[in-house]
Amino acid sequence: MFIDRQLDVFEQSGIFVVRFRRHHFLVDEWVIRSIGDELKEVAARPECRKVVVDFTGVEDLSSFMVGQLVMLRKRMAAKKGQVVLCGLSAEVQEFFDETILSELFDIQADEVDALASLGARQTAPLNPEA
């Protein structure tokens, strides 16, 4: 069976980095359900205690997508884990600010800052193709 993955997931020093493969507008219900399933898989990994979700390139998202992020946060909190969001566009950041979600999530400017906030010793973004 062919599975069209929506996310790229990499691990570095115990931190799982999640990037969106090709979606700039996270509003399609099927895509978001798939993303939610993949985020659930990440959170279910026993060794997963820290997650960075990199929104670089994402220009818009639906409330359904926000729900998936809240569920990820809840799953990680249940195992005393952490979630950091980064790379939010101005529009997405504004949405998070207006809905007070920016108080619920740790939001960093970019992946380097997000990794550093979780204790990673890295000076450049993780490059999965290297």
Alpha helices in the chain (DSSP H): 29-44, 63-78, 90-98, 101-104, 111-117
pLDDT digit string (tens) for the chain, length 130 residues: 446 789 999 998 889 999 999 778 888 899 999 999 999 999 999 999 999 999 999 999 999 999 999 999 999 999 999 999 999 999 999 999 999 899 999 999 999 999 999 998 654 445 555 4
Q: Check: pTM over 0.75? Answer yes or no.
A: yes
Domains of the chain: 7-117 (3.30.750.24)
Q: What is the pLDDT of residues 79-98, one digit of tens each?
A: 999 999 999 999 999 999 99
